[in-house]
Structure 1
Amino acid sequence: MLVFDWSGRREATFAADNFRIYGKCQGWYSQEMLKNICQQCHLLQSVRTAILRHCSTDVASHKLATKKVKTRAAGNTNESFADHCKVRVRGGNGGDGSMVFLRQAFKEFGGPAGGDGGNGGHVIFRASNKISNLNLVRAVYQADEGGRGEGNCCHGKSAEHLYIEVPTGTIFKELETQKLVADLSSEGDMFLAARGGAGGRGNHFFLSNEMRVPRICEEGGRGEEEQYLVELRVMANAGLIGFPNAGKSTLLRALSRARPKVASYAFTTRKPHIGMVQYDDYAQVSVADIPGLVTDAHKNRGLGFSFLRHIQRCSCLLYVLDLSQEEPWQQLKDLKYELEQFETGLSERPHAIIGNKIDLPKARKNLDLLREKVQLPVYPVSAKFLLNIEELKCHIRKIYDEHIDKS
């Protein structure tokens, strides 16, 4: 057996080429030889499994072995969360009936034999606990059409219904009138959004004593077409509310395993992100990172309406204040004012006040002034350095047990 010097890449490639020629002639012995090579050659060691599977040691395999593996991507989850959407649905058209007369060699006038058309499919929404938001709901849904009737009284095939799964707690409103038409509050609840058209009848149906040769048939009915506004009644158990750059996304990262984008500029968060706060008793509380509000948001400034609608679907509110800014109590006052102007009583839901960035200068002084001004419990935290995060989790669980879980 040849002995090779494994000190360099050129020798390893030379050994691989010799082994490739030799391995074509010897099957079992080639694998044994390859094992010995892999034990000595560091270059072949990393691809031993692939080589044994394909019995190939060409230069391409060596290049693949030395190829750098791509590093793991950063932990930013930019998946969009949708809590409302518009959808247009249309039931399938019914199949047309056929006008056919039976013709046979021994029976010249066999009579009408046109079959009926099949029924069109319905569009049905079904509630499921396996889905958490509406980001998979498309804008348009079209059910299948029924089959056309054929001769020999063969009826067309009826189309299957189109089922669309949505989260439990989804409500449907008419797009024009905003009238509530359906509330899927339990798993398995279904809403018939658009009916399919009925199949047309063939000329065999119209056979009677008065009409022995019916030369008429029906067209299939047209499916219904409707437009709905689909909304989630409850998006999350708690919502983080604050002005831009208050540290809401960083706080959600500290509370849960959610990874929203974090940056030093305003309006980093454009759509809500949901995180699940885990507890030792296996309970879970969903917390939503709401995009930052601006002054006069209730007048739809800065996409204010769309951001405030997200807050409507949170059971309790977590006001996040930036303690590094001057007069943090004014932030709380402005936030409550925007909520009250948008919907009366919205700011009075079960809530907690969180003072973020306690690690920065002047934060301790502003915390004392804030507690003196608002006369309410304030929970100081540092989302960046995970200070007092466990205490905040306990308080969120307390609010959940007292108000949300009982409602």
Structure 2
Amino acid sequence: MLLHIVHIGNFGMFAFYPAVMSYFKQLNCKSTRWCTLIRIFKKRGIREHDHISIDYTLRRYFSKKPKLTEKKLTKKFIDWRKVVFIGGEGGDGCISMRREAHVEFGGPDGGNGGNGAKVIVRSSKKIKSLDKVVSTYKGENGVRGSSSNSHGKNATHTIVEVPVGTMIKENDVCLVDLEHDGDEFIAARGGAGGKGNREFLSNENRAPTIATRGMRGEQRILELELRVMAQFGLIGFPNAGKSTLLRALSRARPAVAAYPFTTLNPHVGMVEYDDMEQIAVADIPGLIQGAHLNKGLGHSFLRHIERCLCLLYVIDLSQPNTLEQLQHLKYELDQYLPGLAERPHAVVGNKIDIPEAKQNLKIIQENISLPVIAISAHYNLHIPELKKHLRELSNKYVNKLEETSEEHHII
């Protein structure tokens, strides 16, 4: 086999076989990365012809991006921003007189200034978080007018893309709710362009020498608040198995671990059916008793289930206080928003595979009127029955409400 020889500065000669060399051709490696790689080879004592060690090192060094952990994802997920929006200033008008050979009394020919740019907030399906939104947005200024009756160019509007489901507030008052892809809101209007001296021509003043300046743009301080779009919301205590249940119902892959508060930001998964119907289910961080007193993670993240038309209470059947779990969850929801716990809901008993869970299941079944769907999210037990129940609730409440809203929209 012919070996490819590569010379790297003062690091000497190193041999690689063709399969390994393909990495470098595809990645267009820079010399700095080559030097670092040679240092790794020398530090590990890898010989020139040790192809297995070289291949392993290359795979580790040039591997794809590692999977983000829940904590790293949380740093990227931002659901609230306070932003200053400033419209662009209008261009100034021009003072100019026409001076041309053989043209007597040319008169004024100063053009108007261009309008300043608006700052527009637009919702987009491609955006999932407010992490790219900066603290200040200022529109471009309009171009000033010039001679020969040349008007200044209007500035191009500034577009700020936000996720679908973003609410825009001012002084705690909701101005608009961007519920659909492509919805727009003018956050700040640009200033009007100034008038050139041509606009002031009159019978009384045939040679005006005045013009106006462009208007300043509008300035507003607005709050952007993201609320996820889902029909169902999973409510439960930490380690009740909400994230595991979402993984069993959909293709979403939230972090799962054996410690509380694994989920630090909401996740949305799509439950798919054979007839191509889809239902969105949101998983939010766990609630604990006293969350309204800012215990645990607090309850501010409950804003993400305000849009949910149905709730799923996930009860941990491995714990003896199953009925108290349900009561505490409803109490915390009412503390956040009165009436939130009264929305259409279902009760899901998780971890039925544990021996003591069956006895705890009987206790909660005897004390509530709603049916309790016993499942094991870890072993996918009775997941099809849960999907069927979700579909029934969706047909009963979600579709009915959507049809009603469409009728109101048509009217």
> TM-score, normalised on structure 2?
0.77
Question: Using the alignment, how far apart are the partners of 1:240 and 1:130 within structure 2?
Answer: 24
User: After superposition, where does 1:209-358 map in structure 2 within 5 Å?
Assistant: 209-231=203-225, 235-358=229-352
1:96 and 2:86 equivalent?
no
Mapped pair 1:122 → 2:112: no
Between the aligned partners of 1:74 and 1:107, the Cα distance in structure 2 is: 74
The question of whether the paired residues in 2 share the 8 Å contact of 1:197 and 1:223 is answered with yes
Q: Structure 2: which 5+ residue stretches go unaligned?
A: 6-15, 29-37, 39-47, 402-411
Partner residue in 1 for 2:59: 69
Please tell me the residue identity of whatever aligns with 1:200. G
3-state SS of paired residue (1:397): helix
The 3 A distance-change label for structure 1 pair 48 and 349 is: closer
| Shift, 1:264, TM fit | 2.2
Aligned mates of 2:263, 2:227 — CA distance in 1? 22
Question: Do the aligned partners of 1:123 and 1:162 also contact (CA within 8 Å) in 2?
Answer: yes
Please give the alpha-carbon distance, in whole angstroms, between the structure 1 residues aligned to 2:188 and 2:92.
20
Query: What is the CA distance between 1:114 and its match in structure 2?
Result: 2.1
- How far has the Cα of 1:189 moved from its partner? 4.5
Give the aligned residue type for 2:18.
Answer: L
- Residues 98, 151 of structure 1: 8 Å contact kept: yes
**Change over 3 Å in CA distance of 1:296–1:234 after alignment to 2:** same
* Pairing 1:357-372 to 2, within 5 Å after superposition: 357-372=351-366
CA change 1:399–1:86 in 2 (3 A) is: farther
**Structure-2 separation of matches of 1:402 and 1:167:** 28
Tell whether the 8 Å contact from 1:323 to 1:356 is kept in structure 2 after alignment.
yes
| TM-aligned CA deviation for residue 223 of structure 1 | 0.9
Distance in 2 (CA, whole Å) between partners of 1:50 and 1:346 is: 57
**1:82, CA displacement in angstroms?**
5.2
Instruction: Return the offset for 1:118.
Output: 0.2
Q: 1-side partners of 2:129 and 2:254: how far apart?
A: 16
Structure 1 range deviating more: 123-132 or 214-223:
123-132
Amino acid at match of 1:156: G
Q: Is 1:76–1:260's contact at 8 Å kept on the other side of the alignment?
A: no
Distance 2:138 2:233 in 1: 36
1:1-59 Cα shifts (integer Å, max 9, x gaps): xxxxx5xxxxx43xx57xxxxxxxxxxxxxxxxxxxxxxxx9436768999xx9xxxxx
CA distance in 1, matches of 2:318, 2:241: 11
User: Structure 1 residues 252, 233: closer, same or farther in 2, change over 3 A?
Assistant: closer
Identical-pair percentage: 51
Alpha carbons of structure 1 residues 48 and 149: separation in structure 2 relative to 1, 3 Å:
closer
Deviation at 1:163, TM superposition (A): 3.5
Aligned length: 363
Measured after TM superposition, the shift of residue 282 of structure 1 is: 1.0
CA displacement, residues 271-290 of structure 1 (integer Å, 9 cap, x when unaligned): 11111111111111111111
TM-score, structure 1 length as denominator? Answer: 0.77
Given the superposition, is the C-alpha separation of residues 390 and 300 from structure 1 closer, same or farther in structure 2, using an over 3 Å criterion?
Answer: same
Give yes or no for contact 2:228–2:305 (8 Å, CA) kept in 1.
Answer: no
Deviations 1:149-207 (A, max 9, x none): 1122211100122344455555433x21x333334455554333221100011222222
Is 2:146 aligned against 1:150? yes
Tell me if the contact between 1:321 and 1:356 (Cα under 8 Å) persists in the aligned partners.
Answer: yes
Structure 1 segments unaligned to the other structure (5+ residues):
1-5, 7-11, 18-41, 55-59
The Cα RMSD (Å) is 3.3
* Worse-superposed segment, 250-259 or 80-89: 80-89
The SS at the match of 2:211 is: coil
Aligned pair 1:201/2:195, yes or no?
A: yes
Amino acid in the other structure paired with 1:267: F
TM alignment of 1:43-192, pairs within 5 A:
43-44=17-18, 66=55, 68-70=58-60, 73-74=66-67, 78=73, 80=76, 85-104=81-100, 110-127=106-123, 137-166=133-162, 170-173=166-169, 175-176=170-171, 178-184=172-178, 188-192=182-186
Distance (Å, rounded) in 1 between the aligned partners of 2:337 and 2:260:
25
- 3-state secondary structure, aligned to 2:220: strand
CA distance in 2 between counterparts of 1:361 and 1:140 reads 57
User: 2 CA distance for matches of 1:261 and 1:45?
Assistant: 35
Separation in structure 2 between the aligned mates of residue 91 and residue 153 of structure 1, nearest angstrom: 26
Question: Residues 302 and 65 from structure 1, CA distance in 2 versus in 1: closer, same or farther, beyond 3 angstroms?
Answer: closer
- Measured in 1, the distance between the counterparts of 2:83 and 2:398 equals 30
Alpha-carbon distance between aligned partners in 2 of 1:402 and 1:82, rounded to the nearest angstrom: 33
1:251 is paired with a residue whose SS is helix
